[in-house]
Amino acid sequence: MRTGIGYDVHRLVAGRKLVLGGTEIPYKNGLLGHSDADVLVHAVCDALLGAAGLGDIGLHFPDIDPKYKDISSLTLLTQTGDMVRGKGFSIRNIDAIIFAEAPKIGPYRKSMQQNLAVAVNIDPACVNVKATTTEGLGIIGKGEGIAAMCVVLVE
Ligand code: MG
């Protein structure tokens, strides 16, 4: 058994869709990035790559590569899952947390868990997504960005 950890943060800006865990969430701002900037999926990818000893997301999906422009990060997660299995590991569970002052994540949690599970082909019961605010503190609290952290177990 091996564990992996992932962390990511993206800036919130006007004029972008907000996509978290592959679910589009109605909100005045969206996350800025080369792909769809799905900060949660990026953290999950990094955790899986870390657990398998495969480096990090920037190594496999460079954000200067035109083929990843505006791509759904779930596509990257599916490819990541394939790489992890290619190294002989099976994914046991994914536990992630979103740090956001707004919007409310609760109504979209199940949908995100389902998306993540489908992307890496595991039981949705093995995927858990949580969310917290930072009590108004720092860049998250001021609504300048959203962050995510993830821990995974592979066997
Ligand atoms: Mg990212």
* Tens of each residue's pLDDT in the chain, 155 residues: 999 999 999 999 999 999 999 999 999 999 999 999 999 999 999 999 999 999 999 999 998 889 889 899 999 999 999 999 999 999 999 999 999 999 999 999 999 999 999 999 999 999 999 999 999 999 999 999 999 999 999 99
Distance 92 CA to ligand 1 centre (A): 23
Distance 123 CA to ligand 1 centre (A): 25
**What is the four-CA torsion angle of 122, 33, 59, 86, rounded to 10 degrees?**
20
Contact status, residue 2 vs residue 153, Cβ threshold 8 Å: yes
pTM given for the model? 0.97
Distance 147 CA to ligand 1 centre (A): 9
Distance 33 CA to ligand 1 centre (A): 7
Delineate the domains of the chain, giving CATH numbers in brackets: 2-154 (3.30.1330.50)
Distance 82 CA to ligand 1 centre (A): 19
N-terminal to C-terminal alpha carbon distance within the chain: 4
